[in-house]
Structure 1
Amino acid sequence: MNMNRRKFLGYLGTGTAALAAASAGLGTLAPVASAAHTADHLREFDNLKLSPQAKPHAFFKPIMPTMEDELVLPDGFSYDVLAAYGDVINEKGDTFGFNCDFTVFFPIDGSNERGLLWVNLEYINDDYMKEQYMPSFMQNTPIDTKRRYHQGGAVIEVFKDSKGTWKMDTSSKYARRINGFTEFDIVGPAKGSSLVGGATKAIGTWANCSGGMTLWNTLLSCEENFETQARRSNLPSEHYGWVIEVDPFDENDEKFKPRKHTALGRFNHENTCMGITKSGRFAVYMGDDKQNACVYKYISSGKFDPAKGKANSKLLEDGTLYVANLGAGRWVKLDAAEVAKRVHASNFSVPSVLKMRDQTVQSLREMFPANATQAHVMVNTHEAAIILGGTPTDRPEDLEINPFDNSIFIAHTNNAVHGNIHGHITRIFEKEDDFESMEFMFEIFAAGGRQSGFSAPDNLTFDSNANLWVVTDMSESNIGKGVYEWHGNNGLFVLPTHGQNEGEAFQFASGPQGCELTGPWFTADEKALFLAVQHPTTNWPRRKGDVDPLPAVVAIKGFKGNNLDKGNKSNGNKGK
């Protein structure tokens, strides 16, 4: 059997048995014998099987790049606008905030046609803070009050009506806002430490970029570019830059209040993805969305127990955080004693990446004193990671686990300073397919540019045929210009991760002018795809009465459903 380097690495990721079978000429194998248990829409099914002949473009005719001011979809597909900036979301009168991003669909009673949709609300442009987009109880308030209200996240209830149209139910008992005024518990190693001013509570969340779902049916949302709003609000910067957790179904659970998980580190978080290790623990993979930043993995100390439900959240407070050293193919433990030992050594010199951030030997020794604790590392995670040998990369944004073979995909969006104009997608293979492994190999799965059709990969998700769905984030100032001209507007692409078209990109959607498309998330039956349209610049979505371009979240229709065996069934991921 002929085997190229990519297939060799793919089989290496599946363990020695699969590699031996491949070398013996036994033919093409599925990447692993059993599917991973991951926290995404595919966990609804008892097992996952690859379709060897699956073609990602068989269910749609790929579109070409376009500069149209519309959400352009293939023939046979359409979309419904669920909520746009300023729309009332509940009977209290709360409104949908600005610049929607990450979405997660939580079924109600196992339904694929009614559920709660969490939507991140990342940041606000001052030009759009008009009274018409404010709830009545927030009008005529100071500008910073308005900024903080419009960010964070929203829980909205959505449903498909008898005519097949997706809508928002504003009478929902669940619909609410999480914003810059919501109180959060601080949990984990930094709780109550001097590094967060002795605080056990934090006020507000903002800069919520992407996130993830937990295995116990709660929401993880990530605070990314938090610094400016913290300064404007005169609030401690150390209270932001964390992963938050929210139960979308129950805001009155005194035992489970919104929380900030300091054990997952503080940096410019993009997203999380979670999977079960072979020992029954879980791993959380994360990226730090800035130039010359690192990729992280958290492993819980305790084992996941489905019967404990939300009590499993405690496992996010007690575990170990690692950073990827790509050159060595190893995960490096972020240990406070080791960081302190290095920075206080007589021959210590500041790594060049930290020099670019104006760090000095003295400032790093103050950041990590000789008696440094894990709280020091969790609050100053990027610095600790670089000091211990973490590899600086090109804006590691979304990370997702391929549930068919346990490989981890990373969207490295770009880094013009390195000449990586269009970005690339990296694929990590953990040793023995185990998320708990300390060794890995990796490949560049796909490179952005004209040859692939996409530029600046951002959020990722998988479908039931192991196709990788990728949205792009070319800067608004670059769209349609220079080397970006050929790509048109930002779009949504489908890339097979196996088969004859492995790594090829097929364009499924093109966004309105100036926008980026964000947060793709399927219903479990894959008959609807939720997608956020962030910062359009002209007149989209052009509903009756709209006078401004409005960020909005949509439901895309036209899918025939997943290709899983009919014998597969829901594993009970239901709302309350």
Structure 2
Amino acid sequence: MSTNKPISRRHFLAYLGTGAATLVTAASGLDSLLTGSGTAKAASSLFDQETPVVTSGSLAGKPVSTDELTLPGGFQYDVIAAYGDVINTKGDTFGYDSTSAVFLPENGSRVKGLLYVDHETSSPQWAHGSRSEGVYTAGQINSSLYNQGASVLEVYRGADGRWRMDTASPAARRITGLDPFELTGPARGAAAVRGAVQVQGTLGNRTGAVTLWGTVLTSEGSWDGTCHDAGLDPSHYGWAAEIDPADPAFKLRKHTALGRFRHSGAPMKLTRDGRAAVYMGDTAAESPLFKYISRGRFDENRGTANSDLLTDGALYAADLENGRWIELTVDAVKEVLRSPGLDLPHAVKYTQEQLQALFREQADVLVHAAEAALLLGATPLGRQGDAALHPLDGSLYVSLVDTSVHGQILRIVEEQGDAGASAFEFEITATGGPQSGFTSPGHLAFDRSGRLWIAADVAPDRLLRSAFRRYGSNGLYVLDLKAPAGSGVTPFASAPVGAAFASPAFTPGEQTLFLSVQHPGAASGEGTPQVSSWPHLPGSTAPRSALVAVRG
């Protein structure tokens, strides 16, 4: 494989179908996956021949809980990279707890390109080691920070059909909790971020979404523990960070205009008048859904210079009861806080006096976006796992991981289909549980036929217990949105013990599905017996998170 031919941004954007149309997160999808006969058709799909599809009864009726990645008959997977694997000639290694995957094909290729992969956490048991007398050493802290962030891999499919890394590629690299990031937007240099214009690293990276100009927005989700352990300022984390996998010289940045919270998902589309709109979930237990709209308009000819659209715009939060987007401004927050005897939302953990001291300028609203949104009447939702845009109608789907025990899929339809609208309608598209055949929806992805791929996110300490026993290990499900309620879900894959899948991504032509396998063996804590050895690689018995390629 060539190691010096860059991926063409023009071809990449053509593949994603941007122009003036909707851009949906990372990939296209699987063509005609499920048919009425319960078989998978070949044509231009993931499948090389007609193969049987696992039915909902066979998995839901007999839970799968083996220490293996289980697929329907006729499918196999390649481990492209696992935690600790060397990814380039500098000796950089693949990070821990791989989450979302984004495939950027080289000139539209189906068999080679770049893979961007997020790394959400580190692990005291398998990565940076346990505390000594309650304290981490400097080396352990560096290891924890290094193993979070992201990996960029160059990958190709060989003549034998297997996917591999090209470790000689100059594009292959790590972005970690040790690298400098520039702050942009209204909170840059503000008192709320302690005057910072540049911060150290990116942490808790949960989902990556492609921008209209071909870079990646990565969502900083859970950063609290690492910040505490490493002595880092928490106001420097919880942002949407921008990375260009195709250009190592692109300046790493965090966009404060998009707000600070426990980000999850950042799909982007154009408003009717050409502005960039970004939808963002929040993984906190009682936090709203957010939307950002740029003031400037997208110009395809500007390429990555369009990044400045994310430095100046308006941040909104969803009020589901009234079907409206609430703009988050410091003047509006101050007005609410002047009300005597204010009945504060349950999730706001400050007194009224503390909040009056906290919200002085717009930067404070952005740094404390969830609190500002709730004060202004936004709807607190359950823990949001991900957000994805439907490729055909542009509507927004949001996963609520544990609402009503087994979770829900929420659909937002904006007025006249315009991402710039201030009004919307919503519906519950699906509710997890025995009636639907799936549980705990986390990461989401659409195929180009409009089927929704759902990665279950049952916490390791709840797997195979009580209400979750019937579902076995965390699965990957396909939801046919056109099917009658309760009949459209088909299990596709089952994760190893203690693991979960994250953010499926597809190649053009849909012959390959990329999946991250998170934290296998997570059910075994320090001092308890090891419960997983996946991916069972030669010379290693420890469980290792990994990126795999599934093929028919």
TM-score range, shorter chain: 0.7 to 0.9
Could you tell me how far apart the structure 1 residues matched to 2:69 and 2:472 are? 12
Pick the aligned partner of 1:363 from 342, 351, 354. Answer: 354
Pairwise mapping of residues 524-535 of structure 1 onto structure 2 (< 5 A)? 524-535=508-519
Pick the aligned partner of 2:261 from 267, 273, 281. Answer: 267
* 5+ residue gaps, structure 2: 1-18, 41-51, 130-136, 522-531
SS in 2 for 1:272: coil
SS in 1 for 2:364: helix
Could you tell me how far apart the structure 2 residues matched to 1:520 and 1:292 are? 26
Pick the aligned partner of 2:443 from 455, 459, 462. Answer: 459
**Structure 1 pair 53/479, CA: closer, same or farther in 2 (3 Å)?**
closer
Indicate the residue corresponding to 1:377 in structure 2.
365
Report the alpha carbon displacement of residue 121 of structure 1 after superposing the two structures with TM.
0.8
Could you tell me how far apart the structure 2 residues matched to 1:429 and 1:56 are? 32
Residue 231 (structure 2) pairs with residue 234 (structure 1): yes
Pick the aligned partner of 2:209 from 212, 230, 248. Answer: 212
**Structure 1 pair 235/439, CA: closer, same or farther in 2 (3 Å)?**
same
**Structure 1 pair 408/228, CA: closer, same or farther in 2 (3 Å)?**
same
Report the alpha carbon displacement of residue 129 of structure 1 after superposing the two structures with TM.
2.7
Pick the aligned partner of 1:291 from 272, 285, 289. Answer: 285
Indicate the residue corresponding to 1:413 in structure 2.
401
Q: Which amino acid aligns with 1:376?
A: D
Residue-by-residue CA offset, 1:403-431 (whole Å, 9 max, x unaligned): 2112110100014xxxx211110111111
**Structure 1 pair 243/52, CA: closer, same or farther in 2 (3 Å)?**
closer
Could you tell me how far apart the structure 2 residues matched to 1:405 and 1:215 are? 17
Pairwise mapping of residues 319-334 of structure 1 onto structure 2 (< 5 A)? 319-334=313-328
Indicate the residue corresponding to 2:8 in structure 1.
none
How many residues end up aligned between the 2 structures?
500
Any conservation in 1 of the 2:101–2:117 contact (CA below 8 Å)?
yes
Scaled by the length of structure 1, the TM-score of the pair is 0.84
Report the alpha carbon displacement of residue 77 of structure 1 after superposing the two structures with TM.
1.0
Could you tell me how far apart the structure 1 residues matched to 2:480 and 2:37 are? 6
Indicate the residue corresponding to 1:471 in structure 2.
455
Indicate the residue corresponding to 2:53 in structure 1.
61
Give the RMSD, CA atoms, in angstroms: 2.2
SS in 1 for 2:107: coil
Report the alpha carbon displacement of residue 519 of structure 1 after superposing the two structures with TM.
1.8
**Structure 1 pair 110/491, CA: closer, same or farther in 2 (3 Å)?**
same
Report the alpha carbon displacement of residue 52 of structure 1 after superposing the two structures with TM.
13
Report the alpha carbon displacement of residue 41 of structure 1 after superposing the two structures with TM.
4.8
Pick the aligned partner of 1:195 from 187, 192, 196. Answer: 192
Could you tell me how far apart the structure 2 residues matched to 1:81 and 1:130 are? 23
Q: Which amino acid aligns with 2:305?
A: A
Report the alpha carbon displacement of residue 345 of structure 1 after superposing the two structures with TM.
2.8
Scaled by the length of structure 2, the TM-score of the pair is 0.87
Any conservation in 1 of the 2:288–2:370 contact (CA below 8 Å)?
yes
Report the alpha carbon displacement of residue 373 of structure 1 after superposing the two structures with TM.
2.1
Any conservation in 2 of the 1:101–1:519 contact (CA below 8 Å)?
yes
Could you tell me how far apart the structure 2 residues matched to 1:56 and 1:421 are? 32
**Structure 1 pair 57/467, CA: closer, same or farther in 2 (3 Å)?**
farther
Pairwise mapping of residues 345-364 of structure 1 onto structure 2 (< 5 A)? 345-354=339-348, 357=349, 359-364=350-355
Indicate the residue corresponding to 2:307 in structure 1.
313
Indicate the residue corresponding to 2:465 in structure 1.
481
Indicate the residue corresponding to 1:113 in structure 2.
111
Residue-by-residue CA offset, 1:190-242 (whole Å, 9 max, x unaligned): 01111111111011111111121111111111111111211222121111000
Could you tell me how far apart the structure 2 residues matched to 1:257 and 1:35 are? 26
Could you tell me how far apart the structure 2 residues matched to 1:412 and 1:56 are? 31
Pick the aligned partner of 2:379 from 372, 377, 391. Answer: 391
Report the alpha carbon displacement of residue 39 of structure 1 after superposing the two structures with TM.
3.8
Q: Which amino acid aligns with 2:460?
A: E
Could you tell me how far apart the structure 2 residues matched to 1:119 and 1:82 are? 12
Could you tell me how far apart the structure 2 residues matched to 1:513 and 1:502 are? 27
**Structure 1 pair 366/510, CA: closer, same or farther in 2 (3 Å)?**
same
Could you tell me how far apart the structure 2 residues matched to 1:87 and 1:58 are? 36
Could you tell me how far apart the structure 1 residues matched to 2:28 and 2:445 are? 13
Could you tell me how far apart the structure 2 residues matched to 1:321 and 1:533 are? 33
Could you tell me how far apart the structure 2 residues matched to 1:238 and 1:71 are? 38
Could you tell me how far apart the structure 1 residues matched to 2:268 and 2:332 are? 27
Could you tell me how far apart the structure 2 residues matched to 1:41 and 1:55 are? 28
Indicate the residue corresponding to 1:435 in structure 2.
419
SS in 2 for 1:554: strand
Q: Which amino acid aligns with 1:187?
A: T
Report the alpha carbon displacement of residue 502 of structure 1 after superposing the two structures with TM.
8.1
Could you tell me how far apart the structure 2 residues matched to 1:502 and 1:107 are? 36
**Structure 1 pair 57/242, CA: closer, same or farther in 2 (3 Å)?**
farther
Could you tell me how far apart the structure 2 residues matched to 1:264 and 1:143 are? 32
Indicate the residue corresponding to 1:161 in structure 2.
158
Indicate the residue corresponding to 2:14 in structure 1.
none
Indicate the residue corresponding to 1:37 in structure 2.
22
Q: Which amino acid aligns with 2:212?
A: L
Could you tell me how far apart the structure 1 residues matched to 2:284 and 2:36 are? 34
Residue-by-residue CA offset, 1:43-91 (whole Å, 9 max, x unaligned): 79xxx9x989965954151251411211111111110000000100000
Residue 59 (structure 2) pairs with residue 97 (structure 1): no
* 5+ residue gaps, structure 1: 1-33, 132-139, 559-576
Pairwise mapping of residues 329-340 of structure 1 onto structure 2 (< 5 A)? 329-340=323-334
Could you tell me how far apart the structure 1 residues matched to 2:188 and 2:144 are? 27
